[in-house]
Amino acid sequence: MTTNYRDLFDLTGKHALVIGAGSGIGRATVHGLADFGAEVTCADLDPKAAEAVAAEASARGAAARGVGADVASEADVKALVESMPALDVLVCTPAINVRKPLANVSAEEFDRVVGINLRGNFFALREAGSRMAAQGKGSMVFFSSIRSQVVEPGQGVYAATKAGTLQMIRAAAAEWGPRGVRANAVAPGVVETPLTKQIKDRPDWYQAYAQKSALGRWAQPSELVGAVVFLASDASSFVTGSLLYVDGGWTAVDGRFTPPL
């Protein structure tokens, strides 16, 4: 049989759940999954934002709905996964950051970052993974970060949660792989989203980060979509437990110093 490789990326008939769909990477992901044929449930802490993104997906010709859900709430995540008519793809994007030296991070700040970035991701992973394992198929895509691999001052707690998410993904790949479930992580570099507005508002900081990548610029949320569609689709049918860098070469170029060769 001849394979039509274009069809490997087709998500027609697939049901996808995007958590954190209301803005940034989550919103762009909804658009991408919709364009490749998926029926998308858009979930966000802000239900109006989720509904707005669902309306955008519908305008692109996709079946979509928007719902409110807090990824940090075990009950919300459980109810959200149970509400899906079917679940073939999960994409989980939410994260927060507190940029402080470790010595200045309060217990409340630590708990807040861990509660969303790691605990919330665990809820989504457990509920979606269990459902997918029971049905014998599914693909989960979570957002880690280059900070799971490289750090800088003020990023300690955030980096720990992103490294923890990656390790949970690897464990999920090992535990549920025999039951047809794939689990992968995407590692963005610097992306222009609401989470990074603090940096964009500081031109010197913004430019310093731009020059850290091989491409000399920041990413737009749309530039993460290709990685997500690949990992969600049959094009990545033998990919699981992986970390896919979408960082403009940040982790490859070792500081961007060009020596006098």
Rounded Cα distance between 240 and 172, Å, is: 9
Where does residue 4 rank: exposed (0-12), middle (13-18), buried (19+ CB within 10 A)?
Answer: exposed
Residue 158 falls in the annotated catalytic set: yes
Contacts of 236 (CB under 8 A, 6+ apart): 139, 182, 184, 230
Measured distance CA(159)–CA(27) in Å, rounded: 23
**CA 28 – CA 56 distance, rounded (Å):** 10
For residues 23 and 54, give the distance between their C-alpha atoms in angstroms, rounded to a whole number. Answer: 11
The residues with which 141 forms a beta bridge, in sequence order, are 91, 184
Angle at 150 between CA 148 and CA 151, to 5 degrees: 95
Q: Which of 158, 206, 209, 245 is catalytic?
A: 158
Q: For residue 198, which amino acid is it?
A: Q
Q: Which residues pair with 246 in a beta bridge?
A: 188
Nearest to 30 by CA among 3, 51, 5: 51
**Strand residues in 144-200 grouped as ranges (E):** 181-188
Q: Which residues are catalytic?
A: 158
